[in-house]
Structure 1
Amino acid sequence: MRVGAGRAKAGAQPNQSLIDGITVLQALATSTEPVGCRELARRVDLETTRVNRLLKTLTYLGIARQTSDRKYGPGSGMTVLAAQSLFASGLLRRALPALEGLRRFGHTVAMGVLWRDNVSYLFHAPPNMPETDALGRIGLYPATRGGIGMALLAALDDLEVEETYASHDIPGYADLPTLLTALNEVRAQGYVRLRVKDEREQHTVAITIGKPVYAAIGLSGWIPTAAMPEMLDALHEAARKIGESGDVRGVQLDLADPALDYRVAV
Structure 2
Amino acid sequence: MALESTGGVQSLRRAFDLLEKLADAGGEAGLSELAAASGLPLPTIHRLIRTLVTLGYVRQNSNRRYALGSRLIRLGESASRQFGTWARPFLAELVEVVEETANLAVLDGDEVVYVAQVPSRHSMRMFTEVGRRVLPHGTGVGKAILAQLPRAEARALLARTGLPAVTPNTITDVGELLAALDRIAERGYALDEGEQELGVRCIAVPLPGAPARAAVSVSGPEGRLTEEAVHRIVPEMVAVARRLSDRATLA
Task: Pick the TM interval, shorter chain.
Answer: 0.5 to 0.7
Q: 1:229 aligns with which of 215, 231, 235?
A: 231
In the aligned structure 2, how far is the partner of 1:199 from the partner of 1:136? 14
* Equivalent of residue 4 in structure 1, options 21, 28, 31: 28
Partner of residue 88 from structure 2, selected from 96, 110, 117 = 96
Structure 2 regions of 5+ residues with no counterpart?
1-25, 165-169
Of 149-158 and 236-245, deviating more is: 236-245
- Structure-2 separation of matches of 1:114 and 1:10: 21
Q: How far, CA to CA, are the matches of 2:162 and 2:57 in structure 1?
A: 23
Are 1:179 and 2:148 an aligned pair?
Answer: no
Aligned length: 198
Identity, in percent, stands at: 22
Q: 1:173 to 1:4 in 2, by over 3 A?
A: farther
Distance apart, 1:96 and its partner CA = 1.7
1:138 is matched with 131
- RMSD over aligned CA atoms reads 4.1
Instruction: Give the Å deviation of 1:166.
Output: 2.6
TM alignment of 1:36-47, pairs within 5 A: 47=62
| Alpha-carbon contact 1:94-1:246 (below 8 Å) kept | no
- C-alpha displacement of 1:109: 1.1
Shift of residue 246 of structure 1? 3.4
1:229 positional shift? 2.5
Corresponding position of 1:191: 189
> Deviation at 1:81?
6.8
Decide whether the 8 Å contact of 1:147 with 1:193 is kept in 2: yes
Please state whether the residue corresponding to 1:165 is helix, strand or coil: helix
Matches within 5 A, 1:76-155: 78=74, 82-83=77-78, 85=79, 91-104=83-96, 105-128=98-121, 137-155=130-148
Structure 1 pair 122–198 and aligned structure 2 pair: CA distance change class (3 A) = closer
Cα deviation digits, residues 155-178 of structure 1 (max 9, x gap): 101110122123652133433222
Note the C-alpha offset of 1:126.
3.6
Structure 1 alignment gaps of length 5 or more: 25-45, 65-73, 250-266
> What SS does the corresponding residue of 2:29 show, helix, strand or coil?
coil
Per the alignment, do residues 12 and 149 of structure 1 end up closer, same or farther by CA in structure 2, a change over 3 Å counting?
A: farther
Q: Does residue 161 of the first structure (1) align with residue 136 of the second (2)?
A: no
TM-score (norm 2): 0.62
